[in-house]
Every structure is written in structure tokens, then in C-alpha cells.
């Protein structure tokens, strides 16, 4: 994105030309990949407006004229739908932009379109297939179209990897930014909950939901994060965001690993032997760059955290979705209406997997239920105070590392995802930041390295991740 911004500044290319070039590339390749659920019919007009503003010397911000895409669970107050990939919301057009989209437009970005996702952000069924939605069909990995793109921000990852846009926004509750970025050779940042507004985003769990950048480089991710972070009166969790946010480009230090203390979370390794071998090679590079690696460190396992996380997510989903639907005037008014719609249109909505998570969520109590409050407190303690926080303090760490996830598995609509595990859970449940950077390759498939730490440690993680990226340079585009 920095190169594109420089080309725009030098008038080597116009925003209109960028929109035309990206749209042509989508036309040439997306029939095989299924990354884009909808193109913005106003993108050309917006690009021409940005070009006119530039000619008049009026730049909106650092993204002025740059085409980006957003996941189809972020509201855009325009002619595009916000459906979370579902047929139930296929006709829903938001009355106004989500706060993230507002900030992108304020920074000058051209919203080129919306990306496909795992339907309802992978929260409909335990046997879902990542990258599949009833509205958008199957998104495919551009490095191997027989394989998963990861989820749930599948289309955002593939769109960036395939060169359909300069960068994209995804959302994560647990793994939905970092996993597809890892599987598509990208950089992804899952920010601290409360740094980026959740207002105007189809929710899963308020205690964990966060939107973040998905890009080809750490520098691009820092630029996008700087644009979307900030306080929003419609999201009380962001009250401190303006005091915490930075121009994250200032953290792009090629010597950022020198003197860094990094802990290896062995409890989050062992999911694929060749990914683990890449980790050992990465540890060697980290040490050569001047980092001190403490190996292993102690963290609660995902099996300890997950039962509490699931109860929390199911309870918060019903409450959050009902509030979103009531305010959105989207057709369905509550979760029960969505369940009924899916049953009535089962042949199109549920040809491969059901909606048992929806049904379990419908049976959960309110946010004042003792069982929910206890599960929330326990999950946060295990992942946060007794997990990441304790490890950081015990070994005086700057960050914790592990392979982000496994190489991409084969798409399987009959049996669903072949998930073996990954490193997303602790930071997701604690609400802490997490960055993944390309680590290496298992044959033709990319694998990422995760760095995560305590609340609002984005600058430190970007510094460390940038130094690792610059030293190893493992990112390479797919051969479409």
C-alpha cells in the first residue's frame, strides 16, 4: 500500500486506473477463487472523486485513492448488502457505515467491494466448511484451489493474496483473521478488543470480537490499523482507544528483535510436524536477530479454556445478534427468525451442514445468568491473568510465539473442516492483540508465525513482526 500511495502521489497512476485494474483482475480470476461477494457499484465514481480531490490538493488521509475491501459482515451505508454471507440477510442494506468503514473513507480509501466469508463468521455449525456461505458459495485458497482458505475472513485473505485489492479488513472472534492470513501467506493483526470499534459489525461475542487489517506486509497492516483504530461513542469498549492508538508505522523498526524476549508456547505447537520444523528454523532466525528465546513457557491449553469460551460465545451471540437485527431492520428481527428462515430454505442454506450452534445459542440465558458470568470470568482468567499476563510477567517477555495454524487442508463439504489446532485461542479469549507473519512453506502452502502479548501491545508486536518479516522475507504471491 505504501508503494501504491507513492505512485498516486507521483501521479504515476490514478485511483480510477487502480480501480479498473483491480476490477479487471477480479474478473479474470475470481471465478476460480470466489473471494468477492459483491463489487461496489459506486467504486469508479468514488475513485474519480478522490482523483479530483488530489488534483485540487485536498487529501483526506494516508489511504487517499487506495482500493480496499471489507468482509461482508461490516455495514456499508451504500448500495452493497451486509449479509454475513447468509441468504437470510441477502437483501439487507445498512442505513449507515460501520465505524471501521467510516474511518476508512475518512482516510481516503475507496471501498472496492465486500468479501465472502464463512457464513455467519463460522458460528452456525460445528461441522462447517471454512470459506463457504449460502450467499457467496465456496472461497478457495489461491495457492491450491482444492484447499481451504481458512476462516472466517476467507474472502478478505484470498482477495489480498490474489491481488484483488491493496488490503482488506477481516474480523476475528477466535482465529478468523490470523488463521486465513497464515494459510494465504499474509500479515494479519487481530487488535486488542476496544482499540477498533465493533459498531455496525454483525456480531458473535462482544467480549472477543475485533476487526483488523489483512495485508501483504507488516507496513501495510500498520497503515490500515492506524486508519481504523479509535474511540467510537457507539462502542463503550473503545473509550480509551484514542489514548492508546498510535501511528503504528512508527513501530516499523528493522532492529525490533534486538533484545526482545520471546517465549515459545509449546502447548500451542504439535499440530503439524512440518509447521513445527518451520518454527525451529524461525527460532534460529529470531536468535540471530538478537532476540532472547525462552523455551518453553507455560500457558493454559486450549482444552482448558474452550468449554468456558463456548458458553460465553453462545450466550453473547444471541444477545448481540438480536440487538443488531432489531436496530438494522434487516428482515429477521431476532435469532429465532434466522433459524426459522434457514429451516424454510434448508436446501439452499444447509445443503452441507446444519445450525446446531444457532440452536444451542437460542437456548442460552441472558447476560446476567450466573453460569455465563462465571464462564466469562473463568475464560478471561485462564487466558489473561493466569495465561498470557502470567507468562509475560514470569519470564519478562515482550511477546509469545507459536505456529499460527497448520497448512491448509482439503475442502470437504461432507465432513467439514479438518482442524488440528492453532495459536489463536489465548489472545482471542483474553481480548489481547495477535499478529501473524509469514514463517515459511510446507511444499506450496504458506504457514504463519504468531506473536501475541498483553492489552494494547500492538506497537511492540508490529516492531517484532516487522523485524522478523524483513529478516526472513517469506511472503510470495500465488501463481494464478
Active-site positions read 71, 152, 176
The 8-class DSSP code of residue 120 comes to: H
First to last CA, the chain: 21
Q: CA angle, corner 77, sides to 73 and 78, nearest 5?
A: 105
Pairwise CA distance, residues 383 & 377, whole Å: 10
Omega before residue 104 within 30° of 0, cis:
no
Let me know if 276 is exposed, middle or buried by CB neighbors in 10 A (0-12, 13-18, 19+): middle
Pairwise CA distance, residues 80 & 387, whole Å: 41
Pairwise CA distance, residues 384 & 389, whole Å: 6
Cα four-point dihedral sign 332, 338, 344, 350: positive
| Cα dist from 99 to 143, 201, 373, whole Å | 33, 9, 28
Paired with 232 in beta bridges are: 235
Pairwise CA distance, residues 119 & 117, whole Å: 6
Cα four-point dihedral sign 328, 330, 336, 338: negative
Q: Do 197 and 232 touch, CB atoms closer than 8 A?
A: yes
Pairwise CA distance, residues 317 & 133, whole Å: 19
Pick the closest to residue 205 from 188, 191, 193 (CA basis): 193
Amino acid at each position: 500500500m505504501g508503494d501504491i500511495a507513492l505512485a498516486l502521489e507521483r501521479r504515476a497512476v490514478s485511483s480510477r486506473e487502480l480501480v479498473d485494474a483491480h476490477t479487471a483482475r477480479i474478473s479474470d480470476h475470481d471465478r476460480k477463487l470466489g473471494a468477492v461477494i459483491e463489487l461496489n457499484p459506486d467504486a469508479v465514481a468514488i475513485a474519480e472523486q478522490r482523483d479530483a480531490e488530489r488534483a485540487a490538493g485536498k487529501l483526506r488521509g494516508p489511504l487517499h485513492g487506495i482500493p480496499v475491501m471489507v468482509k461482508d459482515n461490516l455495514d456499508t451505508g451504500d448500495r452493497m448488502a451486509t449479509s454475513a454471507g447468509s441468504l437470510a440477510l441477502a437483501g439487507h442494506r445498512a442505513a449507515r457505515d460501520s465505524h471501521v468503514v467510516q474511518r476508512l473513507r475518512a482516510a481516503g480509501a475507496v471501498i472496492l467491494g465486500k468479501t465472502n466469508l464463512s457464513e455467519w463468521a463460522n458460528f452456525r455449525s460445528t461441522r462447517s466448511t471454512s470459506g463457504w456461505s449460502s450467499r457467496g458459495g465456496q472461497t478457495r485458497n489461491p495457492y491450491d484451489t482444492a484447499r481451504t482458505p481458512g476462516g472466517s475472513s476467507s474472502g478478505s485473505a484470498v482477495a489480498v493474496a490474489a491481488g484483488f485489492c491493496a488490503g482488506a479488513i477481516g474480523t476475528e472472534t477466535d482465529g478468523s483473521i490470523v488463521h486465513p492470513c497464515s494459510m494465504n501467506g499474509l500479515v494479519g493483526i487481530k487488535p486488542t478488543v476496544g482499540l477498533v470499534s465493533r459498531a455496525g459489525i454483525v456480531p458473535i461475542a462482544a467480549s472477543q470480537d475485533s476487526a483488523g487489517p489483512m495485508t501483504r506486509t507488516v507496513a501495510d497492516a500498520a497503515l490500515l490499523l492506524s486508519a481504523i483504530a479509535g474511540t467510537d461513542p457507539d462502542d463503550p469498549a473503545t473509550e480509551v482507544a484514542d489514548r492508546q492508538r498510535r501511528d503504528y508505522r512508527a513501530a516499523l523498526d528493522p532492529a525490533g528483535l534486538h533484545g526482545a524476549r520471546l517465549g515459545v508456547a509449546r502447548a500451542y505447537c504439535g499440530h503439524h510436524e512440518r509447521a513445527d520444523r518451520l518454527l525451529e528454523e524461525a527460532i534460529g532466525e529470531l536468535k540471530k536477530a538478537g532476540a532472547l528465546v525462552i523455551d518453553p513457557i507455560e500457558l493454559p491449553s486450549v482444552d482448558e479454556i474452550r468449554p468456558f469460551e463456548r458458553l460465553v460465545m453462545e450466550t453473547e451471540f444471541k444477545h448481540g445478534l438480536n440487538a443488531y437485527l432489531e436496530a438494522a431492520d434487516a428482515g429477521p428481527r431476532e435469532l429465532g427468525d434466522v433459524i426459522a428462515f434457514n429451516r424454510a430454505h434448508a436446501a439452499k442454506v444447509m445443503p452441507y451442514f446444519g445450525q446446531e450452534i444457532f440452536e444451542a445459542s437460542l437456548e442460552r440465558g441472558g447476560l446476567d445468568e450466573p453460569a455465563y458470568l462465571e464462564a466469562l470470568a473463568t475464560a478471561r482468567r485462564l487466558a489473561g491473568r493466569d495465561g498470557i499476563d502470567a507468562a509475560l510477567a514470569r519470564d519478562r517477555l515482550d511477546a509469545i510465539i507459536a505456529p499460527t495454524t497448520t497448512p491448509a487442508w482439503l475442502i470437504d463439504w461432507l465432513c467439514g473442516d479438518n482442524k488440528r489446532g492453532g495459536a489463536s485461542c489465548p489472545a482471542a479469549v483474553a481480548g489481547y492483540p495477535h499478529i501473524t507473519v509469514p514463517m515459511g512453506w510446507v511444499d506450496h502452502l504458506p504457514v504463519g508465525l504468531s506473536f501475541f502479548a498483553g492489552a494494547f501491545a500492538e506497537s511492540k508486536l508490529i516492531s517484532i513482526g516487522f523485524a522478523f518479516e524483513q529478516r526472513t522475507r517469506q511472503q510470495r504471491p500465488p501463481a494464478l
